[in-house]
Structure 1
Amino acid sequence: MGAQLKVVVVGAGLSGLVAATELADAGVDVTVLDKGRSVGGRLATRRLADARLDHGAQFFTVRSPAFRRRVDDWVDRGLVAVWNHGFDADDGHPRYVGTAGMNSLAKDLAASAERAGATIMTSTLAFGLRPSPGDSPQHRWEVVIDDGSTLPTDAVIFTCPLAQTFALLADVGVWKSGDEATDAAHDAIVARLGIDLDQTLFRTQYDRTIALLATVDGPTAIPEPGGVQDGDDVFSFIGDNQAKGISSSPAVTFHANAEWSEAHWDDDADTTLAALEAAARPWLGDAQIIERQLKTWRFATPRTVWPDPCWTTADGTVVVAGDAFAGPRVEGAHNSGLAAAHSLLA
């Protein structure tokens, strides 16, 4: 495919930004859409007063040559640094973090994509996909925006959580799990678009995560190196952002585990905050909370992972990618975005 190829990428998380950068570098006309106010997805960082806290992905490791090349570039430019080599013992795999927070890596990718000619549109909700009208359309598809406007395109890469992708393709507003809803969504996509998505993709379930972000007035009781995985019955991860090297003042991220998050998902915010603060108390030592925020991730972690790095229609014009492919981690999301771009460039 030549330089006139037009591609729309839905989702400006890591997968979408990697795909957009790769395509733009190859001369493709790329537009990235994201409903959020800024890029990053799970590469999310929040400022509270003078503190900086990662509240999505906390760190990443490197196992593949493709991701190693990306990380080496980030290291050379001072964008990432090693936090530790294991939370309980040295396992030989460095845990990397963004030196200015994980979201800074998404911003770097977005800047690179834009320099190569990509257009990135945040606060823009992709509402649906439909075939281009007419007997001989110039482009294969139209992506419908929630304001009713459309973007003509030759191919589309979806990198948002799978349930959101299916709802968009099926034009059903919100996709709900369950056999009947799954079959209905599948049939709607086949009827409307001629796309026969694998049923296994439809049935992918995600764990939820509720996060407590807290700034504190002094050192905490979190042990070296400042991170704890599965530390108790409530928290799947606890991260001291100052020990991590991204915050100038003490600030802690608490991720509730999947079971706790599911059980408390429908609680009101004040009740949830009170419960999380009580659970966090043993990890804070003598430190007192100054400021707190609650964050929720509806589609935090896919429970099953598709073995291939992406899924592509037979004609190669619709690609589904993201962290449900090739591993639900930062590296998997990166490599899935790379594979999605290469599937269109082949």
Structure 2
Amino acid sequence: MKPNIAIIGAGLAGLTLARELAEHAHITLFEKARGLGGRMSTRRNDTHQWDHGAQFFTARTPAFQAMLAPFIDNGTVAEWQPNITTLSPNKAPFKRPWFEPHYVATPAMNRLLKDMAEGLDVRLQTRAAALVQQQEQWQLLDENEQLLGEYDWVISSAPLPQTQELLPAELLGNRLDAYQMLPCYALLLAVDDAALPVWDAASVNDSPVRWVAFNHRLPGRNHQAGAVVVHTTPEWSTTHLEDDQEQVKQQLIDTFCTLTGVSADAITQAQLHRWRYALSAEVEAPEAGFVLNPHHRLAACGDWCLGGRVEAAFTSARQLAEALQRQL
């Protein structure tokens, strides 16, 4: 009889794990958000859309390249070849070449996740909040202590802090303590396209801002002009994480205008998103790309295990799936 497995989180790691284990187990994914994506999610309103988390991804391993191949063939994933520059306060910008392919999902980053989720049992807007051990199984409860189901295995692909809250530390040997995540702000702007520079994206030095992208210039997004995404450094974000959010937003708008030369009058909309758990810290984490306790049937995976890149989420989940297939 196939085991029942609950996977917490329906981002790239959770969906990869579910697809890899689908032939070996009955899988249910629980996602607290309204939609798929995690940090590959997309925000929309009536006039614009912003990929406010991951802006692109690379594919450096044969396994990730093979997974992406059919999505590239059907147009879900496209190579992005931007005109990219480097910005610094009080310094002239200079062109920044890329030496490997960079990819985006079209027409939004979360499209890849939607395609990956086809045929899977995904429960959206469902927060897994607690575990209760009942003999050989785990009862999974929501925030209202209502039973979500009984499972042979519970695996978290959620960001590290949520994983730490859900999985009992004493059963994982405190192995989650070896990892750390850092915050990031995303400033989402609607700007008159005629006021924007000719480049498509910029890496930024010596500033609270580390990245600027004209999101509407990514493949498949040309119909939504003037969508700008600004990301901050983890250091600045950590210092200002609990500051008044309107003040943070205004400071970042001022910084964006100074860096790019765009007039504030050209900005027609501005939103701020606070990613509390955006980036993996540089820590001496264990070599394994996942955390596993086969005796208690608990595990965790995610990009935070392997450095925070999009491909890291896939690799962590795939490595865990290989280990689990030997257990199931």
Quickly name the TM-score band, shorter chain normalised: 0.7 to 0.9
Distance change in 2, residues 1:119/1:265 (3 Å): same
Q: How many Å separate the matches in 2 of 1:66 and 1:45?
A: 26
Instruction: Report what 1:213 is aligned to.
Output: 188
CA contact (8 A) 1:7 1:156 kept: yes
Contact 1:85 1:93 in 2 (8 A): no
Alpha-carbon contact 2:181-2:304 (below 8 Å) kept: no
Letter in structure 2 aligned against 1:32: L
Unaligned runs of 5+ in 1: 134-138, 171-188
The whole-number CA distance in structure 1 between the counterparts of 2:48 and 2:113 is 20
Query: Take 1:169 and 1:334, find their aligned partners in 2: how far apart are those partners?
Result: 21
SS of 1:298's partner is strand
Q: 1:292 aligns with which of 240, 247, 270?
A: 270
C-alpha contact (below 8 Å) 1:127/1:144 kept by paired residues: yes
**Displacement, 1:55?**
0.3
Q: Is the 8 A contact 2:139 2:150 kept in 1?
A: yes
For the pair 1:100 / 2:95, whether they are aligned, the reply is no
Q: Return the alpha-carbon distance in structure 2 between the equivalents of residues 314 and 99 of structure 1.
A: 38
Q: Number of paired residues? A: 309
Q: Spell out, residue by residue over 1:68-106, the C-alpha distance to the aligned partner (whole angstroms, 9 max, x if none).
A: 012111110101111127844444311101121111111
1:4-29 per-position Cα deviation (integer Å, ceiling 9, x unaligned): 211000111110111112222x1521
Please give the root-mean-square deviation of Cα atoms over the aligned residues, in Å.
2.0
User: Which residue, 322, 325, 329 being the options, matches 2:302?
Assistant: 322
Q: Equivalent residue for 1:36?
A: 33
Identity of aligned residues (%): 30
Structure 2's unaligned 5+ residue stretches are: 85-94
- 2:132 maps to which residue? 130
TM-score (norm 2): 0.87
Q: Which protein has the bigger strand share?
A: 2
1:50 CA drift (Å): 2.7
Partner in structure 2 of residue 146 of structure 1: 143
1:242 correspondence with 2:222: no
**Does the CA-based 8 Å contact 1:160-1:322 persist in structure 2?**
yes
Give the aligned partner of residue 64 of structure 1: 61
1:184 corresponds in structure 2 to: none
Q: What residue in structure 1 maps to residue 243 of structure 2?
A: 267
After superposition, what is the alpha-carbon deviation per residue over 1:155-188, rounded to whole angstroms, capped at 9, x for unaligned?
Answer: 1111112222112224xxxxxxxxxxxxxxxxxx
Q: Which amino acid counterpart does residue 262 of structure 1 have in structure 2?
A: T
Aligned AA (2:256):
A
1:339 aligns to what? 319
Q: Residue type matched to 1:121 in 2?
A: R
